[in-house]
Amino acid sequence: MDLSLFFVGTGGSVPSARRGLPSLLLSRGGERLLFDCGEGTQRQLLRSIGLADVGCVLITHFHADHWLGLPGMLKSFALRERTQPLTVYGPEGLHELMGAMRLVYGRRLPYELALTELEPWEEIERDGYKIATVPVNHGARAAHAYALLEQDRPGTFDPEEAQRLGVTPGPAFGALQRGETVAGVRPEQVMGPAREGRRIVISGDTAPTQTLAVAAHAADVLVHEATFAEEEAERARETLHSTARQAAELAREAEVRMLAITHVSARYAGSELREQARAVFANTEAPRDFDTIEVPYPERGPARLVRWSERRERAQAAAAEARGDGEQGGDGAGVPPVESIATP
């Protein structure tokens, strides 16, 4: 099952010409989960992959740069006559905030809107994975990081061993893989050990915090805020944000497989933050708006950053191939929808 992170907005606090406000779209199979929804998120999506069919929105905390895009998005879903239900999750205070937003998005929506306040360390069970809230350190009000934790997968099936034990290929193989005993052969005789699911941790805004280092242990990808460079460590401390170096130290301690830094202050290009982080934790990326991190199952290779330009080229090449003309776009029709082909 494909799993990817699309960086809708990678700036922090205020938008800049290059970076929109925080929002991250996680795609897993056919599901779309939006983490934070800063002002301009709709437009960022429309400019890139289109306004996705988001199934739920998870707000990390209630500073305006993380939710101001939500009322407009709810309204747009209504104007598009969405009928699919939508759940918004957030820390304590969500009901109060959404109550105030009602003035904007209206009393009646054509879809069901569910609001769920989450406690620290709460877990939401979903199909094949769970989402856990991790309390972080970003001021007096509750602020969550979110961890997406996939269930373990069954081990690898060994067809040769099954045949050696007298099982005939065909439906019996499927039964064994589903955990059934066939002709006296038990699944554990022909299946390898369970394989770990993937783990993605998204910090939201926070000063470096031990809870996150523990929760992110061995995560496939840790998306951590890095608002400031090392020269502004004092300011990071005062405002309960992190420097790039601190994010990297946490990634190293947690032994994550990849660190992606985001929530970049408008004063930085991003590359200097990445270099400061890489000095501590080599496998650090600094995604720009519209970049994607693809997260395959570990046995299929490591997570990988795909720049927006590369993804667009892939989409154009695929569209040209579909037309059978082998051209690389150039027909003025713009970028085809890439969502269906960009995460094989």
* Residue appearing with tokens 């069970």: 125
Pair 28, 3: CB distance under 8 Å: yes
Compute the distance between CA of residue 185 and CA of residue 182 in angstroms, rounded to an integer: 5
The interface with Zn ion within residues 182-221 (CB under 5 A) comprises 205
Q: Which residues of 271-308 are buried (b: 16+ CB within 10 A; e: fewer)?
A: eebbebbbebbebbbbbbbbbbbbbbbeeeeebebbeb
Query: Does residue 39 interact with Zn ion by CB under 5 A?
Result: no
* Ramachandran angles phi, psi of 117, nearest 5°: -85, 135
- Cβ closest to Zn ion, residue 12 vs residue 296: 12
Number of Cβ within a 10 Å radius of residue 209: 20
Q: Which of positions 54-83 make contact with Zn ion (CB under 5 A)? A: 65
Of 39 and 205, which has the nearer Cβ to Zn ion?
205
Q: Which of 65, 205, 220, 289 is catalytic?
A: 65
Number of residues that bind Zn ion (CB under 5 A): 3
Residue nearer to Zn ion on the CB measure, 262 or 292: 262
**Residue 265: CB minimum distance to Zn ion, A:** 10
DSSP string, 66-84: GTTTHHHHHHHHHHTT--S
The whole-angstrom distance between residue 307's C-alpha and the CA centroid of its chain comes to 16
| Closest CB 205 distance from Zn ion, rounded Å | 4
Sequence-distant (6+) residues with CB within 8 A of 247 are 203, 208, 224, 225, 226, 259, 261, 277
In the complex, least distance from residue 262 CB atom to Zn ion, rounded to whole angstroms: 10
To the query of whether residue 331 is one of the catalytic residues in this protein, the response is no
Q: How far apart are CA 285 and CA 198, in angstroms?
A: 18
Q: Minimum CB separation from Zn ion for residue 339, in Å?
A: 27
Nearer to Zn ion, 150 or 205 (CB): 205
Shortest CA distance to 25 belongs to which of 7, 10, 2? 7
CB of 252 to Zn ion, least distance (A): 24
Q: Which is nearer to Zn ion, 139 or 336 (CB)?
A: 139
CB 275 within 8 A of CB 282: no
d(CA 77, CA 236): 37
Site string for Zn ion, 12-31 (x = CB under 5 A): x-------------------
Site string for Zn ion, 318-337 (x = CB under 5 A): --------------------
Q: CB of 178: closest distance to Zn ion in angstroms?
A: 45
Phi then psi for residue 78, to 5 deg, are: -65, -45
Nearer to Zn ion, 36 or 220 (CB): 36
Binding-site ranges for Zn ion (CB under 5 A): 12, 65, 205
The residues that are catalytic are 65
